[in-house]
Structure 1
Amino acid sequence: MFNKVLIANRGEIALRVIRSCKEMGVKTVAVYSTADKDSLHVRFADEAVCIGPAPSKNSYLNIPNIIAAAEITNADAIHPGYGFLSENAEFSKICDEYNIKFIGASADMINRMGDKATAKETMKKAGVPTIPGSEGLLESAEQGMKLAKEIGYPVILKATAGGGGRGMRIVKEEAGFKKAWDDARMESSAAFGNDGMYLEKFIEEPRHIEIQIIGDRRGKACHLSERDCSIQRRHQKLVEETPSPFITDELREEMGKAAIKGAEAIKYEGAGTIEFLVDKHRNFYFMEMNTRIQVEHPITEEVTDFDLIKEQIKVAAGENISGRNYYPKLFAMECRINAEDPANGFRPSPGLIKNLHIPGGRGVRVDSHVYAGYIIPPNYDSMIAKLIVSGQSREEVIVRMKRSLEEFVIEGVKTTIPFHIALLNDKQFNAGNFTTKFLEDFDFSQIK
């Protein structure tokens, strides 16, 4: 086991890793930017090192500074959390070169799964269902139009290096293809420095379902069932739940087997997710693989009684996975509490938290790094807390979540709490009738 783990991240995920390390008897090192000097992850780590000014590129994305922090504190492993450098192949490789264990995927694995076209081809060869589309990158708009005609409209153009919805365009008919092609390439080039595009059949009325997997050095993998991440705004998740109200026991078994098949085909080591789109007929198709821990991992922990961060660390230290699959024993839901104004297009709302009251009670968990008097910096992602609720049924979880949201007091900044309350009062959501397009028709005027 490691002696000391440096957490190359900030906020609630850094604090989450620190907690598991403490329970394992492993020392921790927090790194922080000047904007985060008063954050709780800095306070509760055994050691803390400032790695630069507020902008991410000068701090949390500054590989030389992070490696230097690991060296001066004698950390023998680095946990990247999610976001920032968690899926950066160069960072994983440099950690290996400096004999520091990267608690995540290898550089080769990140490269293979990070490029969406390569990932799709890899999964296809492994026998995992994939969405009909281009074999590799498109060479021209004309080639794309020809293929779209063959597989049938609507289709979706995707940037091979894309993420967060950037570099994506839905094309419903041939007349709009060329403009969508030009716009997507321009956006992708500006955002990622790569304008490579591929094309897929557009799945109508889709659900976004991900399977949590863990793999070890022996090449063995197990899964911890599914999470339904269909409630999204501009491809950004807002609410996640497990088990999915749409997935049957038979489909859960089939998707779990497919995810393990994909993970073992590439000898995946660590925690990750195989993400699928599921159509209205319950056909499922591989979408992408995330080679890191996910924001929404706590709901899986709550329904399986399994600490995913500890398992990540154990696997990275060379231990074997348990060798069995885990299925939900309870129901759980997570609401992401962002410092945003949902009544005004989710406009960011950084600033001073004047007063804070965290909800509690049976089946309620809050993962957060904020407190009364904390100043939310404008430099980073706006998520400030995750409210996780579990119960014996989905109905019980929804009631408990509404009660917890009403108890959650954050004064001084706008938050997404009113949006979540409105969503949980929606009859269609309560009935489990939603897709990834659900919020496109949601009545935001009801938010109080």
Structure 2
Amino acid sequence: MNVHFIAIGGAAMHNLALALHHKGYRVTGSDDTIFEPSKSRLEAQGLLPETFGWFPEKITTQLDAVVLGMHAKADNPELLKAQELGIKIYSYPEFLFEQSRNKTRVVIGGSHGKTTITSMILHVMHYHDRDVDFMVGAQLEGFDVMVKLTEDNDFIVLEGDEYLSSPIDRRPKFHLYKPNIALLSGIAWDHINVFPTYENYLKQFGIFIDSIVRGGSINYNEEDLEVKRVVEASENQIRKIPYNTPDYTVEDGQTLLETPDGPMPVEIFGKHNLNNLSGAKWICQHMGIDEDDFYEAISTFKGASKRLEKIAENGTSVAFKDFAHSPSKVDATTRAVKEQYKNRELVACLELHTYSSLNAEFLKEYKGSLDEADTAVVFYSPHAVEIKKLKEVSEQQIAEAFQRDDLIIYTNPEEFKDFLFSQDFENTALLLMSSGNYGGLDFNEVTKLF
């Protein structure tokens, strides 16, 4: 099968391209720019385009399919040529569904926790040598790829993102997978550039639940009242199985999970992570892993990349980086670190980097999200606001949104770096939360402070 990728360099797109290449497909692609690590990974497999740019002549009737990435525009010359020739054009999630029509599709949805839960499931499967197909949004320890597709595996585990499918398909990705087994971890308003009201955002999760195959099942976090309400309101003929946070204790910076065989130390920590673990346990049981085998495997799970990832530690101090950027994630992550290190000073730094977080109307959602930190710092780039063509955001608006009198605010990357490197991190937990890099911060340099 000949498949061409328009915008092959994206994190998800290049992983799908690599998966199809490994499956024996003939893969080509184009992009106007490709960054690391996509560039090196495509180059190693001979899939890196010789020249960056869009080339309509690459689109011929010899192609069986075109996969269109979100980075491309609706007037992309290669897309227009494919439409003109009548070649089948898929969005990323549509193509994944086509690849998994005859498999049991396990889809993990939710505003937060989906990458971690998907990663936990895959870790347990890998630990017990159970081969499954998958698509996950983070690099996992022990896995070379983020997408795996085979002809033989019975299960495929998919991270169910609610963002849009492609420039010409405005449906959320997780509406297209039609799960046999689903999970919903939490609902907290995000992606306001696409879902301008909370009601509109909430509706997408109702559609997801109704898309589950009749006779299928959904495990849902009953501690999230919105999740509970949406799931229980669905008239879809599926099994609805709630889960909640398991009992646990924290002793001297070590989390102990209560199990039928007594307290078990785990590498992860924080109520939200243990709630994720509970959901993952249910899904693994649906996939044939019994409880004892799940606990044995999960005790070795260290977390997904950039999800409370420990980057440095010494005898008295520790540093984490985390992908948290939405208000609910910032609050949960900050609370988790404070609970784990009760007797240490918590310095929590948040970069407002996404479209939602830099929107003046949305800022009020951050109220109280950094309250658990002893020292709270917010960094944002006025230039990023400009690039995203948003209304200017002032430091005063930031301060009012978080409602914390001692909030430290930086807009200059050098000043933020100077602050960080001037701190005495004795008996401290440092938490760096961002989906960016604070205007060019080298995290390797940060590790040398510990």
Q: TM-score, normalised by structure 2?
A: 0.31
Higher relative contact order (CA 8 A, sep 6+): 1
TM-score (norm 1): 0.31
